[in-house]
Amino acid sequence: MRISTVTEKAYAKLNISLDVTARRPDGYHDMRMVMQTVSLCDDISVTLRSDSSVSVGTNLHYLPRDDRNIAVKAAKAFFAKAGMTNHGADIGIVKRIPVCAGMGGGSSDGAAVLRALNSLTGNPLTLRELEDLGGSLGSDIPFCIAGGTALAEGRGEILTQLPQIPDCFFVIAKPRFSVSTPELFSRLDLCSIKYHPDTQGIINSLKSRDLKGICLRLYNVFENVLPAKPDDIPSIKNTLLDFGALGALMTGTGSAVFGIFDSEDKAIAARSYLALQYSDVFLAKPQNRLEI
């Protein structure tokens, strides 16, 4: 019996480091980032249709349900790439990853749709082809296809698999506001970047399974160009460190902040305290690379 529905986990991503190395002629920027997927995830269900229609339903009423939704774009792009123009899909999204948080929630949803459709249609595309297709839809999607721990370069589409991060716990908190990605890139363009992440040091620490070494090198260049107010981001970082995080950092262009703990008890205590102030607070573990 042919399976017509697949459910995929769309895992959140965190930036263990984030560096911007150059502005490209096409208007994008060259990035160098160590990325990590974590167990916090959305649930994506995909059902094939016998016509060319693509629909999406979600538990968040304010998310778009048309071509503005990356899940819809991903489905249409997949059918076009696979030469299945008379196929369609019904997509269901249960959101848990906060939106506009720098955690790749939309990108991960799009990647999960690509994986689900590939599975449903007999795997016509290779992993590399899925990543290339994802890159045409968004900079984070290639990484989100398989996730795990990776170095992402270029716009994010040049991926090098890295050793898994050692066992640890992530506490993630998103303030009530979001940060404008175009505004931060604009601010970055107007000033020289004085400090860059020690990306190679992080890679070496991953290879030696040195969690403290990784945490000592957490760095995101966008933290230097954040608006002065509100000051929740440095406040959350300080709280995480006060509760015993080995390191804390804003992910992506924000506004979510995470801390890395080697103690579950300390992580639970930090989450409980932050949950008194913020509605989006999560405890997560590293998510290994998916086998595709």
Query: What token pair was written down for 44?
Result: 């994506």
Quick check: do 5-161 and 169-284 share a fold? no
For the segment 214-272, what is each residue's pLDDT rounded down to a tens digit? 999 999 999 988 887 789 999 999 999 999 999 999 999 999 999 999 999 999 999 99
Tell me the Ramachandran region of residue 36: left when phi exceeds 0, alpha when psi lies from -120 to 50, beta otherwise: beta
Beta carbons of 173 and 274 less than 8 angstroms apart: yes
Catalytic one among 19, 42, 109, 140?
Answer: 140
What is 169-284's CATH topology? Alpha-Beta Plaits (3.30.70)
CA distance 90 to 277: 37
What pTM was computed for the model? 0.95
For the segment 23-52, what is each residue's pLDDT rounded down to a tens digit? 888 878 899 999 999 999 999 999 999 898
Is 140 a residue of the active site? yes
By the 10 Å C-beta count (0-12 exposed, 13-18 middle, 19+ buried), 279 is classed as exposed
For the segment 94-136, what is each residue's pLDDT rounded down to a tens digit? 999 999 999 999 999 999 999 999 999 999 999 999 999 999 9
Query: What token pair was written down for 67?
Result: 């071509």
Is 76 a residue of the active site? no
CATH of 5-161, one of 3.40.190.10, 3.30.230.10, 3.60.15.10, 1.10.10.60: 3.30.230.10
Tell me the Ramachandran region of residue 118: left when phi exceeds 0, alpha when psi lies from -120 to 50, beta otherwise: alpha
Domain boundaries, the chain: 5-161, 169-284
Is 50 exceeded by the pLDDT of residue 1? Answer: no
